Structure 1
Amino acid sequence: MTDSLTHSLERSLVWPRLKGWGAALMAGVLLSGCGAVNNMLYKTTGDVMQGFSRDHTVPYLLESSDLAMGCAMSEATAPLLMSFGRVTSEPDQLAVMLYLSAGGCAEEKAREFELDGLAAMHAMNANEAEDALIRQKRAYALASERYFKGWKHHNAYYGAPGTGECPDFSDDKDEFIYMAGLLSGLQALNAQIQSTSSIGVPANVGSIVARATECLENEKWWGAPMALRATVWAMIPGAEPEGENAFERLDIADEQGEAAGVRLPHVFHAIAAINKGDQDLVKQVIREHARSLEQTPANADWRFVDAMATNMIVAISDRLWVENTGHRTPLGQLGSFWDDQPEEVETMNLDDLL
């Protein structure tokens, strides 16, 4: 009887432990299964989001001319969309567009701070001018970091640019994103210089970008590849090939951009003229841009790019106006300047009629 009681007691002690172990084992299996299902769900969602964004969101945005909306979208959605790189392939192509746009947001703020500083200087307010300059440099540093991320993702997807080998583009969107990545690299370097701080952008990015534009069809992309290349020639001493003239190339690119309704070459031309210190040429480019806006509507497929070009031309015009008058370009007067001579009005001598 004692043996029977002992055996029953041992069973009563062991069985709950076995049940506990079994429950733990079953829970582990179920939880691991849920984890696998979740990972598969996340991966599928990530792949769908990447594909949808590339094939629909980006084209939809490019057909819009609302720069502020595009800016808000890129800053708000970049963390979400980029986080899918943790569960599926890294969204490198999408990252190029997101960080180029987000970098533009930061650069826009930097330009606003610059105008605030120039206005303060014009008003002889030294403290306000210095504070605006500090904010300007901080914003340019952020812009450079964002542009540089876009450049890195560009290189991860397409390979190191400027090596002499061009990618095999699958479609026009693929080729456009390649060009956007080149622009992101150039902007990263420019913003780093403006910030007067070291973000880590290599100093030879400009020459790399210039070589890589050879992979793009110039006429197909509104003269922008040649304009970008010529701007690098104009800005880097010794970069211009023998027999070439950067500003003649920029004139040709301007005409191509105007005809296509995508006036991005005007921006490169103005930047090259600013670097040269030729204010008359800068004004001329701005006037041409304003005239073209009246004569040629924006390309319906690339309204966003054309609007971006106009926004940058307005920013350049505003800088000139604030430096010289203390205020920005008057509304509706892009292409005119504070020192323009009034047009001569023909007058009739009434004495001849008497």
Structure 2
Amino acid sequence: MTLILGALLSGCSMVNHMMYKTTGDVMQGFSREHTIPYLMASGDLAMGCAMSEATAPLLMSFGRVTSEPDQLAIMLYLSAGGCAEEQGREHELAALAAFYESDGNAAEDAMIRQKRAYALASRRYLKSWEHHNAFYGEPGTGECPDFDDDLDEFVYLAGLLSGLQALNSEIQSTSSIGVPKNVGTVVGRATSCLENDKWWGAPMALRATVWAMMPGALPEGEDAFERLAMADRQGEEAGVRLSHVFHAIAAINKGDEARVKAVIRQHAESLEARPANEDWAFVDAMATSMIVAVSDRMWVENTGHRTPLGQLGTFWDDQQKEVETMDLDDLL
């Protein structure tokens, strides 16, 4: 009787395992074929953020019963890292506003919250980077992956971005998260596996940003900011302006405020001139969100408040245009 009961329980366990495995495989396939493309075509960053934070534990748990969902994890942890980074930026703005008002205690508290948020962002981005390497192999080694389709290539690009973001967030957190310090160089080399024209100039923009920021990384005869300007034009024409973000980051690193302002103005003008690419509206919206964040930081530092609504591309020190007035006495 005991043997029969044991066999029945063992059989139930096996059936459950097969059911879980099948469910996990279906969920992974559906997410890749439908959820990610659907999300990329939307421009709702908050929705994407909420989805990644809410579903990552569920979807990643299927790795216990079937193959590890490495490719899906790249996108989940990249997006979840962006959620934490957004919180960090909000705390940074609060700190800057407090500094502007000479409220030292509020500024210090906001800075502590900022560092905590960036530490979380770095850990999430690092997970994305690790899953990227598990799925595609160690990047920058000289051999490129065999991509199955366009989405496969895009996720590869997203993984490269997660590597750089992990390092940047670790620096912002002033903590030791364990991000490899050579990740910038590795990412710069790995971008050569992607077609620059196909991906809105982003691979070259990413590579040029590494050149601009890493001492000794600039190849002889190259100009990082010329390359970034070229990538900007490609992104604007494609309606996916991710290169503007890289350009702004490189300019900030050089302390070139005039160039940062010019990139923000250029982004704002491009938004007026060309709508977002329908298939990649989420990426374009993400780029705009990050450009607004750069603008907000500058505004708060100088005025105590963010970029005024509807005035992205303008600055507190712009010369006010003289308003022409009509002499009404002549009309009487």
The alpha-carbon deviation at position 24 of structure 1 amounts to: 1.4
- Aligned partners of 2:216, 2:138: CA distance in 1, in Å? 23
Query: Could you say which residue in structure 1 is the equivalent of 2:208?
Result: 230
* Aligned residue among 249, 264, 288 for 1:286: 264
CA–CA distance in structure 2, aligned partners of residues 63 and 158 of structure 1: 24
Match of 1:42 in 2: 20
- For the pair 1:51 / 2:29, whether they are aligned, the reply is yes
What's the CA shift for 1:344? 4.0
Answer yes or no: is 1:106 the counterpart of 2:84.
yes
Do structure 1's residue 314 and structure 2's residue 292 form an aligned pair? Answer: yes
Letter in 1 for 2:73: A
* Poorly superposed stretches of 4+, deviation over 6 Å: 347-350
Whole-angstrom distance in 2 between the partners of 1:26 and 1:163: 55
Corresponding residue of 1:117: 95
Output the CA distance in 2 between the equivalents of 1:274 and 1:328.
18
1:346 Cα shift? 5.8
For 1:198 and 1:231, how far apart are their aligned partners in 2? 23
Which residue in the other structure is 1:92 paired with?
Answer: 70
Tell me how far apart the structure 2 counterparts of residues 347 and 317 of structure 1 sit (CA, whole Å): 32
**Aligned equivalents of 1:136, 1:160: Cα separation in 2:** 31
Q: Distance in 1 between the 2:45 and 2:223 partners? A: 33
Matched, 1:335 2:280: no
What is residue 142 of structure 1 aligned with on the other side?
120
Per-residue CA deviations over 1:286-339 (Å, capped at 9, x if unaligned) read: 000000000000000000000000000000000000000000000000000010
- Match of residue 52 from structure 2: 74
Secondary structure of 2:220 counterpart: coil
Amino acid at match of 1:230: A
Q: Find out whether 1:204 has 2:188 as its counterpart.
A: no
User: Is the radius of gyration larger for structure 1 or structure 2?
Assistant: 1
SS at match of 2:147: coil
**Whole-angstrom distance in 1 between the partners of 2:324 and 2:195:** 49
Deviations 1:216-238 (A, max 9, x none): 00010000000000000000111
Note if 1:194 corresponds to 2:172: yes
Residues of 2 paired with 1:173 and 1:229: CA distance? Answer: 21
Normalised by the size of structure 1, how large is the TM-score? 0.92
Cα offset, 1:342, TM superposition: 1.3
In structure 1, what is the Cα distance between the partners aligned to 2:176 and 2:308?
Answer: 36
Which residue does the alignment assign to 1:239?
217
Moved more, 150-159 or 338-347: 338-347
- In the other structure, the counterpart of 1:129 is 107
Gaps of 5+ in 2: none
- 2: CA distance, partners of 1:283 / 1:249: 18
Equivalenced residues, count: 331
Q: One-letter code of the match for 1:147?
A: Y
Q: Which residue of 2 aligns with 1:185?
A: 163
Q: CA deviation at 1:188?
A: 0.2
> Percent identity between the aligned chains?
78
**TM-score, length of structure 2 as denominator length:** 0.98
Counterpart code for 1:159? G
Equivalences for 1:10-21 in 2 at 5 Å? none
Secondary structure at 1:309 match in 2:
helix
Shift of 1:176: 0.3
3-state secondary structure, aligned to 2:165:
helix
> Per-residue displacement from partner, 1:226-269 (whole Å, max 9, x unpaired)?
00000000001110000000000000000000000000000000
What CA distance in whole angstroms lies between the structure 2 residues aligned with 1:346 and 1:233? 47
The C-alpha deviation readout for 1:54-91, integer Å capped at 9, x for no partner, is: 00000000000000000000000000000000000000
Q: Which residue of structure 2 lines up, in the alignment, with residue 8 of structure 1? A: none
In the TM superposition, residue 343 of structure 1 has moved relative to its aligned partner by 2.1
Equivalent of residue 244 in structure 2, options 230, 250, 266 = 266
SS at match of 1:323: helix
- Kindly state the Cα deviation for residue 348 of structure 1 after the two structures are TM-superposed: 8.3
2:7 is the counterpart of 1:29: yes
Matched, 1:169 2:147: yes
**RMSD of aligned residue pairs (Cα, Å):** 1.5
- 2:275 counterpart SS class: coil
Q: Name the counterpart of 1:60.
A: 38
For residues 29-72 of structure 1, the C-alpha deviation after alignment (integer angstroms, 9 at most, x for no partner) is: 10000000000000000000000000000000000000000000
Structure 1 portions without partners, runs of 5+: 1-22
